[in-house]
A and B are shown apart, each in its own frame.
Chain A
Amino acid sequence: GENVEQHPSTLSVQEGDSAVIKCTYSDSASNYFPWYKQELGKRPQLIIDIRSNVGEKKDQRIAVTLNKTAKHFSLHITETQPEDSAVYFCAAVDENNFNKFYFGSGTKLNVKP
């Protein structure tokens, strides 16, 4: 099955700096890559996603890049704010295999004011 690795496990940045979280996957059939933000005690919420026919996608301060050849994708957060502090999870999905989501182990992002 799919194996998703996520790095780093913790990331501390100063407010206003950029943060980058990286994930690798093993199954070349995966073609949908969502990113979720989970605040303490709350449900994971989708913040951005990308499909395999696209190399990059942006939404305001958040961007995701995908390298299908290398089987890795990254989340970029620019101009970080304290409210960005949370745990971020990447996932890899084979949409042709009934949407079975494989999650990374998470990155705890701490944005220091």
Chain B
Amino acid sequence: DAGVTQSPTHLIKTRGQQVTLRCSPKSGHDTVSWYQQALGQGPQFIFQYYEEEERQRGNFPDRFSGHQFPNYSSELNVNALLLGDSALYLCASAGTGGSYEQYFGPGTRLTVT
């Protein structure tokens, strides 16, 4: 079991560009959540996907969007990048079989210059 995987590991983008981050959930998991973790801070909830739909959203602007595919993998898209978007983006997966434990991926480090 590979656990939660994310790609790419690191990414450098310029202000105004767009970025797509990818996540594959742990085997058997069908729920994917995305978090933004700024340096020295706790993860901040962006949104959660279940059954290919966004079912919960945190306090992030519409520039942040996502998608979940039939195989439960997910993408996070950020448009019109700002310097403040520089952070570690974490994906976490969970199952719906009664356990609500979330398993985190290794994250994607995004740097916006």
Contacts and interface: CB of A to CB of B under 8 A. Distances in A.
Interface residues of B, number: 27
B102 A43 contact: no
A76 to B, nearest CB: 20
Interface in B20-45: 31, 33, 35, 40-45
A45 B105 CA distance: 9
Contact of B33 (A1, A4, A99, A104): A99
B42 A6 contact: yes
Given A99-B94, A101-B33, A46 B45 contact: no
Interface size class of A (residues with CB under 8 A): 20 to 34
A106 to B, nearest CB: 5
6 contacts: A6-B42, A43-B107, A45-B104, A46-B102, A49-B101, A99-B102
Interface of B: 4, 31, 33, 35, 40-45, 48, 50, 55-56, 58-59, 90, 92, 94, 100-107
